[in-house]
Amino acid sequence: MLIAFNKPYGVLCQFTDTDGRRTLAEFIRQKDVYAAGRLDHDSEGLLLLTDDGRLSHRVTDPRHKQAKTYLAQVEGEIDEAALRALRRGVVLNDGPTLPADAAFATEPEWLWPRDPPVRYRKSIPTSWLSLTLSEGRNRQVRRMTAAVGFPTLRLIRVRIGGYALDGLAPGESRIVPM
């Protein structure tokens, strides 16, 4: 079984939490499924859950280079120089990243409001970019955008390999064909 889930902001990618934070158990009723990969507490979007260990491995193991696409709202007006740097790969404290597919983006019309909203600062504009990675380090997109001078304010994963959000609202899930 494979479940596509639109993880809301502020939800942990686990089913239990001793600190009382929101978890997948609030949304996923199917038993014996586990997240294939992770999305940080402060990130949103596509999360795959499965009861198939081999499928989970194919999705998460870096050797399979499963492309993951994100939309990021960043502080400042992202420029071509920053996108070029992301396309070449940037050096992070744990070493250089692989090149990413980076492009200007606009805020999608289908995007839901975030709760709580992203902080608004009248004197500092924001912009959007699309970033596709084939590796999955901890908080990688956030660290990459910060490394090129544009800290991430909002991060939404929209695609993992051949699987996409495809209209799922935050907190919604659907079973998808494997």
- Are 70 and 155 in contact, with CB atoms under 8 Å apart? yes
Token couple for 69: 């696409």
Catalytic residue among 17, 40, 94, 115: 40
Instruction: Give the single-character DSSP code of 63.
Output: G
Q: What are phi and psi of 150, to 5 degrees?
A: -135, 85
3-state SS class at 7 = strand
- Are 152 and 142 in contact, with CB atoms under 8 Å apart? yes
Instruction: Give the single-character DSSP code of 64.
Output: G
Q: In the annotation, is 40 catalytic?
A: yes
What is the Cα–Cα distance from 165 to 156, expressed in whole angstroms?
A: 10
Token couple for 147: 């490394």
Task: Specify the pairing of strand 34-35 against strand 101-105.
Answer: unpaired
The helix or strand, by DSSP H or E, that contains position 44, with its residue range, turns out to be strand 44-50
What is the Cα–Cα distance from 25 to 162, expressed in whole angstroms?
A: 25
Enzyme catalytic residues: 40
